[in-house]
Structure 1
Amino acid sequence: MLGLVLLGILVLTIGGCACVVWAERGGPRWVRGVATVTLATGELVRITHRHRRRSLNRNSGDSGGDSG
């Protein structure tokens, strides 16, 4: 079941990337919409990852241990 979910995410990701490339070359309106959603989702993931990483660094610094 988990493999099926991961496969679905992979297919959506590849399809979204293909739409971004197609939209750059002047694709139809629906392709530009999918490309916009794909780019916005990527930006959201990047912001979330950056926030989470910053939070982890702050928490590990509060432990008092020397981490490197």
Structure 2
Amino acid sequence: MTGLVLLGVLALTVGGCVCVVWAERGGPRWVRGVANVTHTAGELVRRAARQERRSAKRRSGESQGD
């Protein structure tokens, strides 16, 4: 079951990347919409990872200062 979920996520990711490339080359309107959603999702993931790194850095700094 987990494998199927991972395959689905992989398929969505690859499909989104294909739409981004296609939209850069002037694809149809729906492709540009999918590309925008893909860009937005990627930005949200980057922000979440950046916040996680910052909070982990603060936690490690607090424990070292004791």
Short-chain TM bin: over 0.9
Q: Which amino acid aligns with 2:42?
A: G
Which structure dedicates a bigger proportion of its chain to helix? 2
CA RMSD of aligned residues (A): 0.9
Is 1:18 matched with 2:18?
A: yes
Q: Mind listing any 5+ residue stretches in structure 1 that lack a counterpart?
A: none
Q: C-alpha distance in 2, partners of 1:33/1:3?
A: 28
Equivalent position of 1:57 in the other structure? 57
Identity %: 71
* TM-score normalized with structure 1 length: 0.92
Q: Which runs of 4+ in 1 moved over 4 A?
A: none
Aligned pairs, how many?
Answer: 65
In the other structure, the counterpart of 1:32 is 32
State the 1:58 CA deviation: 0.3
Unaligned segments of structure 2, at least 5 residues: none
